[in-house]
Every structure is written in structure tokens, then in C-alpha cells.
Structure 1
């Protein structure tokens, strides 16, 4: 299996950095929603620290050595240290989309790691990351809906792209369950819930086909425009209602 081959090679490449832990989260750890070749490989590595420019260079070299392997382009890893791991707002060195930048390890990722994180090397998440309360998790997902996704709904050009339609609706369904019940759900579960939340069924069917069918038909220009309109008409009021009802 290409996934397991790549993960084993990645852990070997990090040996020179003496990591305390390497973990998988997202669908790769969650199990039933991971699709090889379509899903990202979302990883966290905890290094002894500090992450100096020399360490960042060694991280980049480690990823460069994987470049020829299948799936290497979708392997994403954020690098923490024990001294920097506790703050969910702190931005950490991250390799994703074939480049290095900084981003936080969000409360959603932290809860995933505690709930079903997969240990690829070293210590378990509970030994290095503080737990996330239901309130912290709910506050984060609602704020993300209000401050990121709601303004995006007003940018019509974005919603002609598959990725915005897919993530916009799926993230909304997942945020709704998290805000109301304090739990995380998979993308597959989110798709199952969306019609009951009032999402347009034909758009949900379109997402499901593109995610899970072996050879989905490419969307027509007419459907792309209609899908964008249906998605935006639904998401705007739905996000407004979710954020208004959250206390």
C-alpha cells in the first residue's frame, strides 16, 4: 500500500531530527473515510526543539527526499516542540502543498489527536498536548464559520470551484454537530447529515459522486454555475443561523 510505504519512509527520514512523536490525524487516523490518492496525509511531528533555521532546512530536505514517492504531494506535516505545543493560536512550521509556511494546530486537530490520533512514532498525544474542552472546540468552529466561511460566501467567483463547494458544505455540517453536541464527525457523516440540515440534495449528491465514485463525470458549465448559486443561497443563511444560535 503506497500510504504505508510513504509513512514508514517519512518516519525514517525524521530520525535524524530525533522526534518525540509523529502522529496522524484527519481521515488517515479516523479510518473509514480515508481514500488513497484522494485524501491528504495529515501529520504532526513533535521535535525536541527549538526549531531553528537549521532545523527548518533539515525538515525541507527530509520532504524533498520523498518527492519521487507516490502520494508525497499530499503529505502535510506540522512541526511542534514541547515548549510550543500548548498554544492553539501559535503558528508552527508546516510542510504542505510542496512548500514551507506556518500555521496553527487548531482545536479541531487537537481534539482529533486526543480522540483517535494514530501514533506513528513515539509518545501518545495525551502525553504532549493539553486536552480541548467542548467549549473551546465549539467556540473555534463557530468563529471559523463566522469569520472565514461567511465572508467567503459573498465572493461569488470562489464557488465555481469544486473545492469550495465541497469544503464549504462539509465544514458547515461538521461545525453544526460540533457546536451543538461537542463531538467530531467524518466527512462521510457530514454528507449524510446535510440534506437533513436543509442543504440542496442535488449539490450533496454531486459532492458524494466526486468524492466516492471511481470515475465521476466532469461538471458542465451550466451545472457549475447553478451549483454555485444553490450553495451560496443555502450557506449564507445557514451560517448566520448557526452563529446566532450559539451561546
Structure 2
């Protein structure tokens, strides 16, 4: 295991790989490592000579200060988890000051409107914060490939757009969602849900699958009504939003058009914890 907390140390270590033409993969995380993160790392280990995992809770992408404060910070446990996979992974765990140098402000980005849909509408400025820290990590690590989970599908599309617009020589790999046995998408936020709440959360994936099945034969409006009805009849959850969107534009779809790919996006709260999921329709 290689652990660095400063940019200078990390760059010095990586320079030997770059000089010999070896490839570097980057897996950006905010820590609270779970098997979903390890799944991303497995992809990078297979496809690159060196894998860098960043562990950094990025303050500029949080709209709610309380959410930032409650976000789990478990570096020692994270390192132990990563070591179960490989002892050759490079972990970069910087402080906020190391990343932002005293100017903890998000850069303003134009993601061609992707940033204004769904999560962007609910959390103004969120994707500016995401873009800011990911761009800083890209400039620092200069990876050949970077890996992002499809659980945060909108984030994945936003990063792809940033790489396209900034003309960065980085391949962005979207990795399928890894799920618990009951179908719940793995997430660091799951740690804040009780064992009983996690069992009940199988409901989210069940609803998405039923909605996908309905989507084949019914209108989008009918699917929307079905999902909203399911949540009204389940007092364990508060539905924040469900939408069916075009995968490319992320815009809310009103009708189904041939040649377009659609995805159902769901956000709901249980025990005060915000859970997100999505499924290709």
C-alpha cells in the first residue's frame, strides 16, 4: 500500500510510471469505501499498470452543511478495505487545504445543461463542486483512464462532458452498479441506515424494475403515476423525485422516441438518509 497526503509526494511517485510509459488509472472517491468502490478498483487494476484511489470529502459539492458534517470519514478502515483487494494501490488522502490552498470555492462550469437536470435542480452548484475537484485530480494525477460508478449516472455524464469540452486525454469508464443481495445500490450513505431500514430499501430496486417492465408497454405518464402511487402506499419512504430521462441529454422525457436510450432515476429518503438509484429502461 502506498499512502500519500500531499500533491508533491504523489506526483514524485507517479513520475516514474509516466517516464516508462506505464498507464495510470484513477478512482476518485469520498471514502467510506465499500464493495462498490472495490469493484471500480478491480476494473482499474485490470486495465492499468498503476491504480490511484483518491479519498477526499469534497466540501464544494455539498449544499447542506449538515450533510457534509455527517459524511463518514473512515480512512483507517478504508485503507484496510483497499488492502484486501491489492497492496499495490496508491491511496491519495489529502486535506481540504492541500486541494484548495485556502480558497475553498468551486469553479463555474458549463456542462451544456446536464448540470441543470435532476440532481442539479435539487442541489444548485453541486456539479460545479464535482467538476472542480475532479478537474484538480485529473490535472494532478494525469491518468490514462478514470472510473466512475453508474449509480451516480448524472455525475458520470457530467464528467464525460467536462473531458470532452476541456479536450482532456482521459478515457472515462462507467462501471455498472454493484448491488446488495436485496438489490439496494451500494453507497456510502447506506452506513447511516439501520439494518431494518436497509432491508426495507429493497423496495427501491423493486419499484424501478416494475417501472422498467411497464415502460415497455405503457406511456411515460402511466409509469410516472405508478411509481408515485407505490411510494404513497409505502410509509417508510419519502419520494423526492422519480423521472425517466434521455441518457444523453438527461432531460425529462415526455414521450418515447425510436433510437433514444432512456433511464429511470429515483431519489427517496428513509430514516433521514437520501438514497439514489437508477436503471436503464
Task: Give the alignment's TM-score, normalised by structure 1.
Answer: 0.29
Indicate the structure with greater helix content: 1
Task: Give the alignment's TM-score, normalised by structure 2.
Answer: 0.26
Indicate the structure with greater strand content: 2
